[in-house]
């Protein structure tokens, strides 16, 4: 394992290979054990300029290659990733903390994304639009936008890189990836696979380093026309405000997602969904359930069953316990925020129903571990009910009418995802129509699939990933109005 990490430590991926970065080093830690597992090189301004120039130089040939060529490369990439999933998952668990089986699942989903966008690559067409004047015709063509910078967070180190990588490659855009400084090795590993898949040098680059230095340099760079960003709303806003030129921005940002359980819900299914989407990946998911509203008649039974199922979750070091339900949190900062939101809720009158502390015992002393935690009888002024916790904490409150519940869900600066459990058709219809979010999941909690668009509203972002719509983010339209002169 250490040999594997040694291959990536201090490296940048440029011109189709791993090279030593020349810049200052930053440590990368295993969050379950607190040990330093490697380091990254902060890309220097000259290295950034050279990478952008390389990407720019291959843009024309890559975007004009037959779509079939790009599709074949993506299929090859998907196969290579799938075949090496176990080893790639180990690297992810080492740097991110999620249990190995879950990490492997993420790698396999990245492989699926490669195949999905390989299939989409050959189905990008334009349109012919009739004109009012005889003798004219309008052609609308789609052209790849150019060099893309992808800036990504640490919670899904493979998928959040991969969605951007696959769509950019399918569209014909070279891509420069700046992964999170906490989870850089998964990105370098993926990049190495692109070289093995035959993707030409310069099309894919990985530049490591911290956000304010390397990420901001990419945002500022005049030869990069598009930024594909996933991260916090705060950083997304900073990028939007600091961008020195007009660029295409897609910003996939934070949320404070709600689950609504009406008296018409199947209670067992609602409890199962609440556990999964509140605590999977230790709540470090942009679409994690942060707050739950339960219709008053069902409230006591829901709380009791939810607490019981939550206490049964197995916490463990993700490498030693590959099938644990949850591992360590990836970093100290989100754990501190989780504790702060918990203290705030308890101070304001919430009741602790499950969890509330770090797990005791051997193996938990040095890592960022915390028990999945539920607080009940929450009020709207509590941080857990209005801010993104991004940790294993969820707040629960009772409601009396559906109008009230919908209003509470929508009373948020965020608009990423919302979940609801009900078997009542009228309620389902109202919820689907009235929840002001980009993704609604009813009677389950898996809001995102690869072939439908996924994106947020309000402070949760602009633009989408996944689906045909996600691919279109990497194109610009051109209208060619042709006077052919045939008037009959």
Catalytic positions, please?
Answer: 252, 286
Exposed/middle/buried for residue 480 (C-beta within 10 Å: 0-12, 13-18, 19+): exposed
Comparison of 222 and 488: residue with beta carbon closer to ligand NAD: 222
Find the part of the chain contacting ligand NAD (CB under 6 A) among 25-33, 80-88, 112-120, 251-259: 251-259
The one among 17, 24, 212, 349 contacting ligand NAD by CB under 6 A: 212
Q: How far apart are CA 256 and CA 418, in angstroms?
A: 9
Contact call for residue 42 and ligand NAD (CB under 6 A): no
Footprint of ligand NAD on residues 191-210 (CB under 6 A)? Answer: 210
Comparison of 259 and 398: residue with beta carbon closer to ligand NAD: 259
Q: How far apart are CA 443 and CA 427, in angstroms?
A: 12
The one among 96, 205, 235, 262 contacting ligand NAD by CB under 6 A: 235
Contact call for residue 253 and ligand NAD (CB under 6 A): yes
Q: How far is the CB of 59 from ligand NAD (least distance, A)?
A: 22
Q: How far apart are CA 174 and CA 259, in angstroms?
A: 39
Q: How far is the CB of 255 from ligand NAD (least distance, A)?
A: 6
Contact call for residue 8 and ligand NAD (CB under 6 A): no
Phi, psi of 257 (to 5 degrees): -80, 145
Q: Nearest residue by C-beta to ligand NAD?
A: 211
Contact call for residue 239 and ligand NAD (CB under 6 A): yes
Please give the distance of CA 138 from its chain centroid, rounded to a whole number.
Answer: 38
Find the part of the chain contacting ligand NAD (CB under 6 A) among 16-24, 98-106, 119-127, 215-223: 215-223
Q: How far apart are CA 474 and CA 166, in angstroms?
A: 11
Contact call for residue 281 and ligand NAD (CB under 6 A): no
Q: How far is the CB of 471 from ligand NAD (least distance, A)?
A: 16
**Angle in degrees, CA 109, 112, 117, rounded to 5:** 130
Q: How far is the CB of 416 from ligand NAD (least distance, A)?
A: 6
x/- track of binding to ligand NAD for residues 152-171 (CB under 6 A): xxxx----x-----------
Q: How far is the CB of 388 from ligand NAD (least distance, A)?
A: 6
Beta carbons within 8 Å of 390's beta carbon, 6+ residues apart: 155, 254, 283, 284, 288, 334, 337, 338
DSSP H helices, 257-382, are 267-279, 299-311, 332-347
Q: How far is the CB of 238 from ligand NAD (least distance, A)?
A: 5
**Distance (Å) of CA 395 to CA 130, 289, 372:** 55, 9, 12
Number of residues that bind ligand NAD (CB under 6 A): 31
Contact call for residue 110 and ligand NAD (CB under 6 A): no
Comparison of 116 and 399: residue with beta carbon closer to ligand NAD: 116
Contact call for residue 464 and ligand NAD (CB under 6 A): no
Comparison of 93 and 182: residue with beta carbon closer to ligand NAD: 182
The one among 31, 172, 372, 456 contacting ligand NAD by CB under 6 A: 456
Can you give 210-260 as a three-state secondary structure string?
A: CHHHHHHHHHHCCCCCEEEEECCHHHHHHHHHHCCCCCEEEEECCCCEEEE
The one among 95, 252, 295, 325 contacting ligand NAD by CB under 6 A: 252
> Are the C-beta atoms of 484 and 478 separated by less than 8 Å?
no
Q: How far apart are CA 484 and CA 488, in angstroms?
A: 11
The tokens describing 73, both together, are 């490369």
3-state class of 155 per DSSP?
A: coil
Contact call for residue 290 and ligand NAD (CB under 6 A): no
The tokens describing 50, both together, are 């050279």
What's the DSSP call for residue 389?
-
The one among 87, 101, 232, 443 contacting ligand NAD by CB under 6 A: 232
Written as one string, the DSSP assignment of 70-88 is HHHHHHHHHHHHHHTHHHH
Footprint of ligand NAD on residues 367-426 (CB under 6 A)? Answer: 388, 390, 416
Q: How far apart are CA 323 and CA 317, in angstroms?
A: 10
Which residues lie near ligand NAD (CB under 6 A)? Answer: 151-155, 160, 178, 180-181, 210-212, 215-216, 219, 230-232, 235, 238-239, 252-255, 286, 388, 390, 416, 456, 461
């Amino acid at each position: 394992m250490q040999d594997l990490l040694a291959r990536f430590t201090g490296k940048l991926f440029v011109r189709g290979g791993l090279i030593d970065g020349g810049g200052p080093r930053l440590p990368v830690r295993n969050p379950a054990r607190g040990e330093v597992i490697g380091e990254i090189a902060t890309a220097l301004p000259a290295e950034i300029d050279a990478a952008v120039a390389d990407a720019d130089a291959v843009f024309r040939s890559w975007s004009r290659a037959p779509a079939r060529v790009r599709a074949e490369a993506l299929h090859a990439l998907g196969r290579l990733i799938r075949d090496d999933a176990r080893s790639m998952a180990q690297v992810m668990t080492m740097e991110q903390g999620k249990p190995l089986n879950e990490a492997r699942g993420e790698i396999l989903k990245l492989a699926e994304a490669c195949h999905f966008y390989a299939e989409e690559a050959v189905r990008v067409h334009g349109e012919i639009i009739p004109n009012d004047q005889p003798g004219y015709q309008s052609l609308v063509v789609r052209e790849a936008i150019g060099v893309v910078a992808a800036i990504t967070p640490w919670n899904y180190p493979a998928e959040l890189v991969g969605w951007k990588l696959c769509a950019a490659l399918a569209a014909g855009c070279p891509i420069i990836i700046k992964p999170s400084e906490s989870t850089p090795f998964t990105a370098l590993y993926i990049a190495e696979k692109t070289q093995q898949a035959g993707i030409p040098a310069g099309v894919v680059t990985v530049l490591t380093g911290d956000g304010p230095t390397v990420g901001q340099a990419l945002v500022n760079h005049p030869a990069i026309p598009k930024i594909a960003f996933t991260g916090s709303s705060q950083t997304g806003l900073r990028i939007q405000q600091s961008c020195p030129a007009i660029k295409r921005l897609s910003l996939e940002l934070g949320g404070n997602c709600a689950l609504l359980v009406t008296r018409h819900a199947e209670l067992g299914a609602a409890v199962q969904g609440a556990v999964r989407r509140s605590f999977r990946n230790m709540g470090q998911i942009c679409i994690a359930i942060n707050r739950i509203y339960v219709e008053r008649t069902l409230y006591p039974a829901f709380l009791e069953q939810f607490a019981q199922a939550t206490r049964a979750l197995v916490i463990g070091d993700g490498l030693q316990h590959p099938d644990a339900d949850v591992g360590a949190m990836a970093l100290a900062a989100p754990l501190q925020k989780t504790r702060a939101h918990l203290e705030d809720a308890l101070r304001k009158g919430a009741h602790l129903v499950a969890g509330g502390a770090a797990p005791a015992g051997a193996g938990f002393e040095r890592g960022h571990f915390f028990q999945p935690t539920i607080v009940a009888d929450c009020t709207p002024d509590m941080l857990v009910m209005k801010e993104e916790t991004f940790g294993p904490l969820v707040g629960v409150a009772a409601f009396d009418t559906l109008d009230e519940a919908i209003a509470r869900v929508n009373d948020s600066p965020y608009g990423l995802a919302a979940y609801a459990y009900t078997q009542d058709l009228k309620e389902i219809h109202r919820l689907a129509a009235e929840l002001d979010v980009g993704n609604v999941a009813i009677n389950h909690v898996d809001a995102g699939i690869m072939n439908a668009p996924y994106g947020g509203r309000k402070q949760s972002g602009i633009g989408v990933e996944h689906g045909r719509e996600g691919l279109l983010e990497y194109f610009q339209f051109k209208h060619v109005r042709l006077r052919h002169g045939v008037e009959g």
